[in-house]
Structure 1
Amino acid sequence: MRKTGRRPGTSTTRQEIVAAAAASFSFHGYDGTSMRQVAADAGVDPALVRRFFGGMEQLFSAVVAEVFQPDRAIVTLLDGPRGTLGRRLLGYVLSLLGDVDAPGPLLGIIRSAATNEHAAAQVREFLAADFLVKLIRTLGMDHPELRATLTASQLVGLIIARYAVRAEPLVAAGPDQLADWVAPTLQRYLTGRAPSPQPPSR
């Protein structure tokens, strides 16, 4: 019989708490998730969840980092021709989402960010500081923050339209077809030449 409540705080326990939180964010959203419920789902005492993570914001950040795994992702994305980075990035994000009829925890993260300002701020900070900006700076490109924000806006918009709103043409399109349409835009944001400043109008 499974014991609940006072499991020792091991690294495996931490992973199980993060997995339980990811499932809860996906199913209930940020506002519908509680530390107590996550603890119950992971089979641990709520005090252990607070000891590992402190509060809900830190727990959500841990889930975001676990889903994206930014350091590993950057290494993987840079392993290939620079001119196809946009296609690799889109493929990576689609792989995190999984099947359109049974998407993974990334959709729960995006939904939480769309409905809760704390979650939105954490996702923005993560994308800006820990993932896309690092990727773009590694490439040595100018305007890394703007490029990262534009890239994130394209990805988040696609995720919401395909997996949350379920716009039929996007649901019906396969990953390769989506890449044919979307990857060139991502590529331009990531490595394209910055627009020349327009002269002031007279």
Structure 2
Amino acid sequence: MTEPVRRRGRPPRAQQDAGPGMRERILDVAREEFAERGYDKASVRGIAKAAGVDPALVHHYFGTKEQVFAASIEMVLAPALEAPAALVDGPLDGAGERMTRFFFGVWDAPATRAPLLAIVRSALNNEVAAGVFRGLVASQLLARIAQRLDLPEGEAELRASLAAAQLVGTAMLRYVIKVEPLASADLEWVIARIAPVVQVHLTGP
């Protein structure tokens, strides 16, 4: 019996009905592929093969490789991107320490450090990946912080960006490039010195 012709770009019926956990499974595999190979060398076909599915199913759920990458980033960064609402709802005077403590807590946790390293390395080496990372952070993180600052729109966004630059730059030196003695310095020591600088960026003169 002749098999029915399947439209291009659509997964087989059995894979379309693979269940609600299939999307998360593909994302888990995609994150590992991006971590091991980087954005440039990872492919939708490779992700599909590692997940044991047809590439059409990956396209069905996510679309392009860029969209798969964005979804994998959001999956890892969701706690960090959702937390600022709670972090900055408190008094602005303590926002610098709350943000710094939370940010480095995420980086210092083994469960989130490896995925973050993979994401940052991909963003450093590929402009598409960097654009996805910037867009996600700018729209979901910096915008929330800027909204709390009682300043003109342009200045509020600039101050939030400077605060983020302080945190991201320090994390790069400590966790990615591993510059000593910062890389092995006590975390509380680092927080105590970075938090006041972040606070100045947000609320200083």
**TM-score, length basis structure 1:** 0.80
Are 1:186 and 2:198 matched, yes or no?
yes
Q: CA deviation at 1:157?
A: 1.6
- Whether the 8 Å CA contact 1:96–1:104 is kept in 2: the answer is no
Q: Which moved more, 1:134-143 or 1:15-24?
A: 134-143
Matches within 5 A, 1:1-80: 6=15, 8-69=17-78, 72-80=82-90
Instruction: Give the match's secondary structure for 1:30.
Output: helix
Flag the 1:154–1:24 CA change in 2: closer, same or farther, 3 A. Answer: farther
Q: Which has the higher helix share?
A: 2
2:178 maps to a residue whose letter is: R
Aligned residue in 1 for 2:3: none
Question: Where does structure 2 lack aligned partners over 5 or more consecutive residues?
Answer: 1-13
Distance in 2, Cα, partners of 1:57 & 1:47:
15
Aligned residue in 2 for 1:162: 174
2:166 maps to a residue whose letter is: Q
Flag the 1:176–1:49 CA change in 2: closer, same or farther, 3 A. Answer: same
Instruction: Name the larger-Rg structure.
Output: 2
Distance in 1, Cα, partners of 2:135 & 2:178:
27
Flag the 1:76–1:133 CA change in 2: closer, same or farther, 3 A. Answer: same
- Whether the 8 Å CA contact 2:81–2:137 is kept in 1: the answer is no
* 4+ long deviations beyond 4 Å: none
Q: CA deviation at 1:156?
A: 2.3
Instruction: Give the match's secondary structure for 1:44.
Output: coil
Aligned residue in 2 for 1:199: none
1:12 maps to a residue whose letter is: G
Distance in 1, Cα, partners of 2:106 & 2:15:
32
1:152 maps to a residue whose letter is: A
Question: Where does structure 1 lack aligned partners over 5 or more consecutive residues?
Answer: 194-202
Instruction: Give the match's secondary structure for 2:15.
Output: coil
Identical-residue share of aligned pairs (%): 37
Flag the 1:34–1:173 CA change in 2: closer, same or farther, 3 A. Answer: same
Instruction: Give the match's secondary structure for 2:42.
Output: coil
Deviations 1:11-43 (A, max 9, x none): 322222222222222222211221122223333
Flag the 1:77–1:51 CA change in 2: closer, same or farther, 3 A. Answer: same
Distance in 2, Cα, partners of 1:16 & 1:53:
13
- Whether the 8 Å CA contact 1:110–1:156 is kept in 2: the answer is no
Are 1:152 and 2:164 matched, yes or no?
yes
- Whether the 8 Å CA contact 2:15–2:53 is kept in 1: the answer is yes
Flag the 1:40–1:148 CA change in 2: closer, same or farther, 3 A. Answer: farther
- Whether the 8 Å CA contact 1:150–1:189 is kept in 2: the answer is yes
What is the count of residue pairs matched by the alignment? 188
Instruction: Give the match's secondary structure for 1:166.
Output: coil
Are 1:97 and 2:107 matched, yes or no?
yes
